[in-house]
């Protein structure tokens, strides 16, 4: 057993000291691009200006014979681009693949100073994070990095879901967890072939009218991902890290994408993946609290003074707990507004109304 006293000691001589808190940086959308695709790579500087996180993907969706081109492409792009306030992440290949060791060796030593977070796919338990943790420390020391690279796990195997709490707390590097609905569906033998979203067969039906079982009855589609997202959110909140909805594969169905993202937002997630530029604005809209909500939250906070006791506002009871709920919304709004002038103006205008 590792003593809790050692948890925040570097895992290699000369590696940077682990962080004690995961800094909250806006990450409403993690925008995926394939660094082996020259057309996509050319758009990186303009896309970087529109997103919170840009992620160079090396894993699934990059063909096996393009793995090295993707890795080299990411190195070249990272060296040539000034990302400003936008975070640069990568998704490395899975830990059981023949590419991952070279992914880590190359990326940390060549562009480690530019990489904020490494996303690790198909994480099954704390042992996977421990492996990456030690290796990163060794490579950070070798590269002379001054701040640790953080780690993000994708929750996309049944074993990973069973172990989600220990994954979330496996290392001070743990920044967050994303749902990976496609791999997770396969791992669990779910019978959906979609990437995220609902399924028309997963529903509840109204009770029959007495004596008339043949009359039409309303049905309501249910959310296939509710249980997993809620579990992931609790594991992340318990360990002070950030939960994300993952990919929504039907690019043309922007309405259902927005619904899925919003469900995740309301349940506690801070962002989602964008797989196509059309999903960037959806994520920006959904994962930024609405101006009217922010204005309401600020009104409650102002009325509650030191945050104790109870007051009535517009016929609704407020107390210590609603004060905390409102602080969640207001704190998020402040963090986003500091990065997004349009949002700052929208929040200020709503407060004046």
What residue ranges bind Mg ion (CB under 5 A)?
156, 180, 183
Candidate ranges 128-136, 181-189, 259-267, 289-297; the one touching ligand GLV (CB under 6 A): 181-189
Candidate ranges 64-72, 79-87, 139-147, 178-186; the one touching ligand GLV (CB under 6 A): 178-186
# residues contacting ligand GLV (CB under 6 A):
10
Report the residue closest to Mg ion, judged by CB: 183
> Which partner, ligand GLV, Mg ion, none, binds residue 169 by CB below 5 to 8 Å per kind?
none
Can you tell me which residue has the tokens 């103006």? 345
Of 114 and 276, which CB lies nearer to Mg ion in the complex structure? Answer: 276
Q: How far apart are CA 300 and CA 315, in angstroms?
A: 12
Q: How far apart are CA 173 and CA 293, in angstroms?
A: 33
| Least distance from Mg ion to the Cβ atom of residue 12, Å | 29
Parallel, antiparallel, or unpaired for β 242-244 and 174-179?
Answer: parallel
Of 174 and 300, which CB lies nearer to ligand GLV in the complex structure? Answer: 174
| Least distance from ligand GLV to the Cβ atom of residue 226, Å | 16
Cα separations in angstroms, 303 against 83, 244, 291, 307: 41, 32, 18, 9
Collapsing DSSP to helix, strand or coil, 136 comes out as helix
Of 19 and 256, which CB lies nearer to ligand GLV in the complex structure? Answer: 256
> Which partner, ligand GLV, Mg ion, none, binds residue 148 by CB below 5 to 8 Å per kind?
none
Calculate ∠ Cα 36-118-176, nearest 5°: 130
Of 62 and 137, which CB lies nearer to Mg ion in the complex structure? Answer: 62
Q: Which residues, 234 to 273, sit near ligand GLV by CB under 6 A?
A: 246-247
Q: What's the full length of the chain, in residues?
A: 353
Of 154 and 235, which CB lies nearer to ligand GLV in the complex structure? Answer: 154
- Kindly tell me which residue out of 126, 153, 154, 332 binds ligand GLV, with binding defined by CB under 6 A: 154
| Least distance from ligand GLV to the Cβ atom of residue 121, Å | 6
- Kindly tell me which residue out of 183, 228, 233, 236 binds ligand GLV, with binding defined by CB under 6 A: 183
Parallel, antiparallel, or unpaired for β 29-33 and 272-274?
Answer: parallel
Of 169 and 180, which CB lies nearer to Mg ion in the complex structure? Answer: 180
Closest CA to 206 of 223, 222, 215, 218: 218
Q: Which burial class, exposed, middle or buried, applies to 90 when counting CB atoms under 10 A from its CB (0-12, 13-18, 19+)?
A: buried
- Kindly tell me which residue out of 180, 243, 271, 289 binds ligand GLV, with binding defined by CB under 6 A: 180
Give the pair of three-digit tokens for residue 132. 């990456």
Per CB under 6 A, 182 contacts ligand GLV: yes
Of 273 and 347, which CB lies nearer to ligand GLV in the complex structure? Answer: 273
Write out 59-112 in H/E/C secondary structure. Answer: CCCCCHHHHHHHHHHHHHHHHHCCCCCCEEEEECCCCCCCCHHHHHHHHHHHHC
| Least distance from ligand GLV to the Cβ atom of residue 60, Å | 6
Per CB under 6 A, 156 contacts ligand GLV: yes
Of 110 and 156, which CB lies nearer to ligand GLV in the complex structure? Answer: 156
Of 60 and 319, which CB lies nearer to ligand GLV in the complex structure? Answer: 60
Tally of CB atoms within 10 A around 113:
14
Can you tell me which residue has the tokens 């039906």? 205
Helices 291-303/341-352 angle, 10° precision: 60
Q: Tell me if 167 sits within 8 A of 123, measured CB to CB.
A: yes
End-to-end, the C-alpha distance of the chain in Å comes to: 57
| Least distance from ligand GLV to the Cβ atom of residue 85, Å | 26
Per CB under 6 A, 181 contacts ligand GLV: yes
Binding site for ligand GLV (CB under 6 A): 60, 154, 156, 180-183, 195, 246-247
């Amino acid at each position: 057993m590792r003593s809790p006293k050692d948890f925040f000691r570097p895992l290699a001589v000369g590696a940077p000291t682990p962080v004690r808190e995961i800094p909250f940086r806006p990450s409403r959308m993690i925008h995926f691009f394939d660094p082996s695709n020259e057309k996509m790579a050319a758009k990186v500087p303009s896309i970087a200006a529109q997103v919170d996180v840009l992620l160079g993907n090396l894993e699934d969706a990059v063909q096996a014979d393009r793995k090295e081109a993707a890795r080299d492409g990411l190195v070249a792009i990272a060296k040539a681009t000034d990302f400003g306030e936008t975070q640069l992440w990568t998704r490395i290949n899975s830990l059981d693949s023949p590419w991952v060791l070279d992914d880590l060796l190359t990326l940390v030593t060549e562009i480690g100073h530019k990489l904020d977070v490494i996303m690790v796919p198909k994480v099954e338990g704390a042992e996977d994070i421990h492996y990456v943790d030690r290796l990163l420390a060794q490579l950070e020391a070798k590269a002379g990095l001054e701040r640790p690279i953080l780690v993000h796990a994708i929750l996309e195997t049944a074993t990973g879901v069973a172990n989600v709490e220990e994954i979330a707390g496996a290392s001070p590097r743990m920044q967050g967890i994303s749902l990976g609905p496609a791999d997770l569906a396969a791992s669990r033998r779910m019978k959906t072939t979609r990437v995220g979203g609902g399924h028309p067969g997963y529903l509840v039906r109204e009770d029959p009218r007495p004596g008339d079982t043949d009359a039409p009855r309303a049905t309501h589609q249910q959310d296939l991902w509710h249980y997993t997202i809620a579990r992931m959110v609790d594991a992340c909140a318990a360990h002070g890290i950030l939960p994300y909805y993952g990919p929504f594969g039907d690019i043309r169905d922007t309405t259902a994408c927005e619904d899925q993202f919003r469900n995740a937002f309301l349940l506690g997630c801070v962002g989602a993946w964008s797989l196509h530029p059309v999903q960037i604005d959806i994520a920006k809209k959904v994962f930024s609290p609405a101006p009217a909500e922010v204005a309401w939250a600020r009104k409650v906070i102002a009325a509650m003074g030191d945050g104790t006791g109870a007051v009535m506002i517009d016929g609704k009871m407020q107390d210590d707990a609603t004060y905390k709920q409102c602080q969640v919304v207001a704190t998020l709004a402040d963090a986003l507004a500091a990065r997004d002038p349009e949002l700052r103006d929208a929040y200020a205008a709503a407060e004046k109304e």
